[in-house]
Structure 1
Amino acid sequence: MEIRQFYDEALAHASYAILSEGKIALVDPRRNPKQYLDFADEKGAEIVSVFETHPHADFVSSHKEWIEKYNLDVYINSQAGVSYQHKGIDHNEEVALGKVRIKALYTPGHSPDHNAYLLIDENGIDEVVFTGDSLFVGDVGRPDLREGAGNIKATRKDLAEMMFDTINTVYKELSDEVIVNPAHGPGSLCGKNMSPDRTSTIGKEKENNWAFQINDKAKFVDSFLDGQPFIPHYFPYDVELNRKGANAFDDAVSAVEVLSKGAVIPTDALIIDVRPENNFKRGHQEKAFNIQLGGESSKFETWLGSTIKPDEKFYLVASNEQEMRRAIERSAKIGYETNIIGATYHLPNELQKDEEVVVDDVKNNPETYNIIDVRNASEYATGAFFPNSKNIPLPELRKRLDEVKDDKPILVHCAGGYRSAVGSSIIESKTNQKVYDLSDAVEEFK
């Protein structure tokens, strides 16, 4: 038997392949199937099944493609109410894979239709539990993402109470030696207090995870609900998309129209420019938003889906063909490839240039700027970098633009520079006032 973890740094998402006797089962696979097919080729094995822990909110799964192109069995909790061909699997039901067995454990709390999957080895020993979004290393999956989404409607309080029961009647009953393989690691918005580790054991979680320490349900619920991070616009959309099943990855990506050189983007269009910040500031189309693609570990998907709503269509602008293709593929990871009207790496001749911030002037005369801090409210609560700043978290900025005063130049900052590039470009698109991005110079003001 072999287990391979596939980790997506950008979404802090872990998926798994379980290999036994030449047969492979996948757990919570991401949208692009290539890495799993490569693993099967490497091992000379056959992928035969997919196990979904629940309809995911933060990424698009490939289960529909595995059904339609590869004729696999897809297992998911029977309460999930999915519309694709599947096999419902409920608490304590088992599926054989080579010499091992995969046993469903009903683990509601993050969602009301959540399964974990317990791997039982050929000797009948509980070996690994794939916990999905119910149990993380150091935390448990937040209970506020499924209000108003999914087949079963439940309040966050209801789900928090379910999670208390899941911890105490399911996970505490497992042996301390059982390995914990969750669907997310640090940086995911599906939890608030995850450890840097990507795997653990039940014993370690019993000892170190806060959720195992509170024995009073009311106190557990209060602690659980407090301080959860923001919910990106795309999360409820992805729940429903995963319940239907998304189109095959390569087909979806190739369907995006690539604009020919000289094609004109309408002046009133929404434009997402994914180029590096410095390139964007040297020249960009008027009113474009600068959501930088960055490297494979950047949070492009998160900020695209937090800034742009699922029903908004946009044009995508990149530096070159390779960057454009990568941006389309990464948009598809959250189901936003269908939002792209057209993609291009050809810029028009008439471009808007941004003025560079003079850091010494900001240090000496901060009162001459309207300063907008686009960090999350929880970050701002730990301390403002400027006494006269106003906190408008980036996910809220577009709907709160009327709170940005334009009686003097506007200075935008975050904690490191990425979000301020997005925020300054959003504000710039709606004002004639000068807008400055403090970018990574913010380090000098912390």
Structure 2
Amino acid sequence: MIVHQFYDKGLAHASYAIIRSGKMIVIDPARNPQPYYEFAALHHADIRGVIETHPHADFVSSHLEIHQTTGAVIYVSKLAGAGYPHETFDDGDFIQLDDIKLKAINTPGHSPDSICILLEDETGLDCAIFTGDTLFAGDVGRPDLRENVGNITAKKEELARQMYHSTRDKLMVLPASVTVYPAHGPGSLCGKSMSPDLQTTIGKELRDNYALQLMDELTFVKALTADQPFVPKYFGYDVELNKNGAPNFEESIGMVNRPSADIMLEEGVLIVDAREREAYRNGHLTNSINLQDAEKFETWLGAIIGPDEPFYLVAETDEALETVIKKTAKIGYEKNITAAILTPQTATAVSALININDFRANINQFTVIDVRNWAEINAGKIFEQALTIPLPELRERVAEIPTDKPIVVHCAAGYRSAAAVGIIASAITQVPVYDLGEAINEWK
């Protein structure tokens, strides 16, 4: 028996392949199915099934494409209301792979339709469980993502109550030696306090996971619903897209418009410039947003831009452009790309550069904007007088920023402030807008 984890650091997403006797099952696959095909070929296995633990909010799954390409059966809870060909997979159902079994366990909490998959080995022992977004290393899935989307909607307090019983009645009673394979690791927005471990055990979680400690239901609900991270704009869209199945990955990114020469850009359409900060500062398109191609590019893209908003995508080279197109497709936003272009000759706007010594000596003569997340802000402001507007809220709240002083934007390390400056400078032209960038480390 082979159990293999595929891990995408950008979305902190883990998917899995289980192989037995030349048959392979995939659990919670990413948008690009090619790694699963290659893994199956490497081990001379046929992909017989794809299991979705729930309709995911934070990434687009390739379950439908794998089914259409290989004929694999898609398994998902009947509660998901799946709009694609599938077999229901709920309490009491199992998949037989020669002499091992994959057994469904309904575990509502993160979503009403969440399931876990318990793996029974060839000796009849329960040896591993694939927990989707129900149980993570150090955490459990947040309960506030299905209040308005999905086949079944539920208030976060109700889902938190369900999570209390799913963990205590279904998971915590398993043998301590059972290996836990979650769908996410640290950095995912599907939980709030995940540990660095990409796998764990039931026993370790019973000892270390705050959500599995002895407490009554009300205490659990309060703990789970408090201080959850922000919800990116794309999450609800991805739930619906996954519920019905996404289009073919390669075909979909192949339809993105890639003009061979500079084009006239449509007025009013957002511009996302994925180049490095220095290249952007030295010459960019007016009113563009510098969202650099880094580890969390796709998350911040879907946090700043809504699922129905078109945008231009700018990169330095053809290779860099293809990379960000594929990252965009991981959250289902490739359809939003009006055109993917190389840096045009008209990219001549230059960013205002801050004089750090002047700022340090005269901080009160600047309007300081803190674009960190609320958890960071609540843990302590770096500049007491700063106006706090987290980056995902900035486009909607930019009118709150005073225009009587030069503006200085900061985050924790410089990535988010680089994006924020473009958003603010597009709306406020009366005063210069500066990015404090990595210099924030002088004040931390």
TM range (shorter): over 0.9
Which residue in 1 is equivalent to 2:195? 195
Per mean C-alpha deviation after superposition, the further-off stretch among 262-271 and 306-315 is 262-271
The 2-side partners of 1:344 and 1:98 are apart by: 50
Moved over 3 A (4+): none
> Partner of 2:195: helix, strand, or coil?
coil
Q: Partner letter of residue 406 of structure 1?
A: T
CA distance in 2, matches of 1:334, 1:158: 27
What amino acid sits opposite 1:307 in the alignment? Answer: I
**Correspondence for 2:316 among 319, 322, 325:** 319
Deviations for 1:167-186, whole angstroms, at most 9, x for unmatched residues? 11001111111000000000
Deviation at 1:215, TM superposition (A): 2.9
How far apart, in 1, do the equivalents of 2:3 and 2:332 lie?
28
Residue 244 of structure 2 aligns with an amino acid whose one-letter code is K
1:16-47 alpha-carbon deviations (Å, 9 max, x no partner): 00011111100000010111111112112111
Equivalent in the alignment of 2:398? 401
3-state DSSP of counterpart to 2:55: coil
Matches within 5 A, 1:156-305: 156-294=156-294, 298-305=295-302
Residues 81-105 of structure 1, C-alpha deviation per residue, up to 9 Å, x if partnerless? Answer: 0100011111121111132110000
Distance in 2 of aligned mates of 1:127 and 1:339: 43
Query: How far apart, in 1, do the equivalents of 2:306 and 2:400 lie?
Result: 20
Write the distance in 2 (CA, Å) between the matches of 1:344 and 1:321. Answer: 9
1:275-295 deviations in whole A, cap 9, x for unaligned?
11111111111100111112x
Contact in 2 for aligned 1:413/1:437 (Cα 8 Å): yes
Q: Over residues 323-369 of structure 1, what are the superposed CA-to-partner deviations in whole Å (9 max), with x where a residue is unaligned?
A: 11111100000000000011101412352101211111121111111
C-alpha separation in 2, matches of 1:400 and 1:252: 33
Residues 1:444 and 2:434 aligned together: no
8 Å CA contact retained: 1:8, 1:14: yes
**Could you tell me whether the CA contact under 8 Å between 2:285 and 2:346 is conserved in 1?**
no
Per-residue CA deviation, residues 357-409 of structure 1 (Å, 9 max, x unaligned), is: 11111211111111000001221112111122110000000000111111111
Q: Are 1:413 and 2:389 counterparts?
A: no
SS of residue paired to 1:170 = helix
Q: Residues of 2 paired with 1:211 and 1:384: CA distance?
A: 28
Check conservation: 1:127, 1:178, Cα contact below 8 A. Answer: yes
Residue identity in the other structure for 2:406: P
1:113 partner amino acid? D
Q: 1:362 maps to what in 2?
A: 359
Offset from partner CA, 1:145-182 (integer Å, 9 cap, x none): 11111001110000000000001100111111100000
- Shift in Å, 1:259: 1.6
How far did residue 266 of structure 1 move? Answer: 2.2
SS in structure 2 of the partner of residue 116 of structure 1: strand
* Structure 1 runs not aligned, ≥5 long: none
Instruction: Tell me how far apart the structure 1 counterparts of residues 122 and 146 of structure 2 sit (CA, whole Å).
Output: 37
Q: Aligned AA for 2:427? A: K
CA shift for structure 1 position 241: 0.3
**C-alpha contact 1:272 1:317 (8 A) present in aligned 2:** yes
Paired residue type of 1:415: A
Determine the C-alpha separation between the residues in 2 that align with 1:337 and 1:241: 13
The letter of the residue matching 1:130 is: F
- Structure 2 unaligned blocks of 5 or more: none
- 1:406 aligns to what SS in structure 2? coil
Match of 1:310 in 2: 307
> Which residue in 2 is equivalent to 1:7?
7
- In 1, Cα distance between equivalents of 2:273 and 2:259: 14
Q: CA offset at residue 269 of structure 1?
A: 2.0
Structure-1 separation of matches of 2:347 and 2:279: 15
1:89, 1:61 → 2: CA distance?
Answer: 17
Q: What amino acid sits opposite 2:389 in the alignment? A: I
Q: Measure the CA separation in 2 of the matches of 1:367 and 1:259.
A: 47
Once residues 347 and 30 of structure 2 are traced to their aligned partners in structure 1, the CA distance between those partners, rounded to angstroms, is 40
Q: Which residue of 2 aligns with 1:431?
A: 428
RMSD: 0.9
Check whether the contact 1:261–1:346 (CA below 8 A) recurs between aligned residues: no
- 1:14/1:182 contact within 8 Å kept: yes
Do structure 1's residue 89 and structure 2's residue 89 form an aligned pair? yes
- Structure 1 residue 119 corresponds to structure 2 residue 116: no
Partner of residue 39, structure 1: 39
Counterpart CA distance in 2 for 1:346 and 1:387 is 39
Instruction: Please state whether the residue corresponding to 1:386 is helix, strand or coil.
Output: coil
1:198 and 1:383 map into 2 onto residues whose CA distance is 29
CA distance, structure 2, for counterparts of residue 359 and residue 10 of structure 1: 32
Deviation at 1:112, TM superposition (A): 0.3
Contact 1:398–1:426 (Cα < 8 Å) also in 2:
yes
**Counterpart position of 1:341:** 338
Give the C-alpha shift of residue 262 in structure 1: 2.4
Determine if contact 2:234/2:302 at 8 Å carries over to the other structure. yes
- SS at structure 2 position matched to 1:103: strand
Does the 8 Å contact 1:22/1:98 carry over to 2? no
Mapped partners of 1:135, 1:142: distance in 2: 10
The one-letter code of the counterpart of 2:234 is: Y
Provide the C-alpha distance between the structure 2 equivalents of 1:89 and 1:350, rounded to a whole number of angstroms.
53
Q: Distance in 1 between matches of 2:185 and 2:98?
A: 29
Distance 1:284 1:248 in 2: 33
TM-score, scaled relative to structure 1: 0.98
Listed as ranges, the matches of 1:33-112 within 5 Å are 33-112=33-112
Q: Shift of residue 261 of structure 1?
A: 0.9
Q: Judge conservation of contact 2:105–2:170 (CA < 8 Å) in 1.
A: yes
Measure, in 2, the Cα distance between the counterparts of 1:310 and 1:339: 7
Q: Structure 2 vs 1, CA of residues 362 and 5 (structure 1 numbering), >3 Å: closer, same or farther?
A: same
